[in-house]
Amino acid sequence: MDAMQRLIDNPTARQIFLDRHALAEPPTGPSTRADLLALINRLGFVQVDSINTVARAHDMILWSRRRSYRPQVMRRMVDRDRSLFEHWTHDAAVIPTEFLPHWRWRIDRHAPSLRARYLAWHGPEFEARLDQVIAHIREHGPAGSTDVGPDEQRSSGGWWDWNPSKAALEFLWQTGQLAVTRRDGFAKLYDLTHRVLPPCDTMTDARAMDWATNAALDRLGFATHSELAAFWGRIKPDEAAAWVKAALARGELEPIQIASADGTTRRSLARPGLEPRADAATRGIRILSPFDPALRDRKRTERLFGFHYRIEVFVPEAKRKFGYYVFPILEDDRLIGRVDARAKRAEGTLVVSALWLEPGIRPAKHRLARIEAQLARLARFAQCDRVDYETGWQRWND
């Protein structure tokens, strides 16, 4: 390790990391639209996912930070207030509308490559389908894939099997010609962008790169140039590296060493004098969504917490180690285990199939009682009246 580089020990690094992800304070306080907008701005974005074994990813992400959160509040912010909009980071996400100028730059920058990809996928006739979809929405208003392609065979669900109308809607959305105006259930309804979102100017390349890297560092606390590039998606590592080099020369960054859970260190970059907030102290247990921002970068999470996590949705059932959709458990500043749970809303029951604690985490009575208390809270959030534990649900990951 370079003797000139300051070392951030692992507990301090975890404390900084959790604070930046709004997990270092009690999950209390109000959940008004203004409060939620500030929280989502702090996180940068909230991922949206279709899986609903207990709750949608975006709802659970916000609930884990604000116990008073109710999903209808965020939907109003997207569907009516337009203080949030849906677009693409690494996946579909809800993003503060004030970030639109940067997204306009991203869209303009990547539209040509997206067009080439979709044309290669659906053939030259895809251009005509785009014009038909735009004309339909211009004349008839918001539409989904069943509205613009009612006679087409429905896809089996995966993006690889989208019919031409669904593909046209997604392309027009990703390239900024359409915007998500609302969801019907979970299905997106699209409208012309100018009918949904306010106009904005496109950033220059230099300003967009400066915004993206600064905003990523603010939300990560410390990062490598590759992590800065990956935070929002669609920034190239060499572009982030060039920004880092210039910022170091200006004295706006300092190189530091971050201690990992296994005792190794990793060179990172931070604002000069990076330290945790005095009141950044995590207390209690939280059950996190698999798509929680604190878990998005699986390798980073594993380095800091020694916690290996993979979603096994696409793993054949016989080969799964834990389960289809397993929720990580945060205790204070450690990831201590995971729980396999699903909501049977028709029966009013949250069914817990299994709990695994990490190696070295003792199944003490007080710890298990705290986990069960959180599962009871999760059940209420999932609109279930009770928790049912399957036989043999307590398992230890030794």
pLDDT at 159: 44
Across 284-302, b (16+ Cβ under 10 Å) vs e yields ebbbbbbbbbbbbbeebbb
CB–CB of 303/223 below 8 Å? no
Whole-number Å distance between alpha carbons of 177 and 78: 18
SS3 content of the chain, % helix, strand, coil (to 5): 45, 20, 35
pLDDT at 396: 75
Whole-number Å distance between alpha carbons of 308 and 338: 11
- What residue spans define the domains of the chain? 99-195, 204-253, 310-392
Alpha-carbon radius of gyration of the chain: 22
CB–CB of 175/127 below 8 Å? no
Encoded tokens for 274: 């990076």
Whole-number Å distance between alpha carbons of 304 and 16: 11
pLDDT at 283: 73
Whole-number Å distance between alpha carbons of 139 and 133: 10
Whole-number Å distance between alpha carbons of 283 and 292: 18
Give 332-359 as a DSSP string.
Answer: TTEEEEEEEEEEEGGGTEEEEEEEEEPT
Whole-number Å distance between alpha carbons of 96 and 102: 11
Q: Give the CB-side neighbour count of residue 65, counting CA atoms within 13 A.
A: 26
Q: What is the pLDDT tens value at each position of the chain, 398 positions in all? A: 455 799 999 999 999 999 999 999 999 999 999 999 999 999 999 999 989 999 999 999 999 999 999 999 999 999 999 999 999 998 899 999 999 999 999 999 999 999 999 998 888 889 999 999 999 999 999 999 888 875 555 554 554 446 788 899 999 999 999 999 999 988 999 999 999 999 998 899 999 999 999 999 999 999 999 999 999 988 999 999 999 999 999 999 999 999 999 999 999 999 999 988 867 666 789 999 999 999 999 999 999 999 999 999 989 989 999 999 999 999 999 999 999 999 999 999 999 999 999 999 999 999 999 999 999 999 999 999 999 999 999 987 66
Instruction: Tell me the H-state helices in 164-236.
Output: 164-174, 193-196, 205-220, 225-232
Instruction: Please name which of 9, 18, 15 lies closest in space to residue 259, comparing C-alpha atoms.
Output: 9
pLDDT at 351: 98
Looking at the DSSP assignment, which residues form a beta bridge with residue 191?
Answer: 179
Q: Work out whether the CA dihedral 157, 162, 165, 168 comes out positive or negative.
A: positive
- Domain 310-392 class in CATH: alpha beta
CB–CB of 288/375 below 8 Å? no
CATH second-level architecture of 99-195?
Answer: Orthogonal Bundle (1.10)
Whole-number Å distance between alpha carbons of 99 and 198: 11
pLDDT at 282: 66
Q: Which residues contact 19 (CB under 8 A, 6 or more apart)?
A: 25, 221, 276, 277, 280
Topology agreement, domain 99-195 and domain 310-392 = no
Strands in 254-259's sheet, in edge-to-edge order, are 6-8, 254-259, 265-270, 222-223
Whole-number Å distance between alpha carbons of 228 and 239: 10
Could you tell me the pTM of the whole model?
0.93
Whole-number Å distance between alpha carbons of 152 and 165: 8
Measuring CA to CA, how many Å separate 132 from each of 107, 169, 172, 357?
Answer: 21, 11, 12, 54
CB–CB of 55/381 below 8 Å? yes
Name the E strands within the chain.
6-8, 46-47, 84-88, 92-96, 178-184, 187-192, 222-223, 254-259, 265-270, 285-287, 326-331, 334-344, 349-357, 386-389, 394-396
Q: What type of residue is 25?
A: E
State how beta strands 386-389 and 349-357 pair: parallel
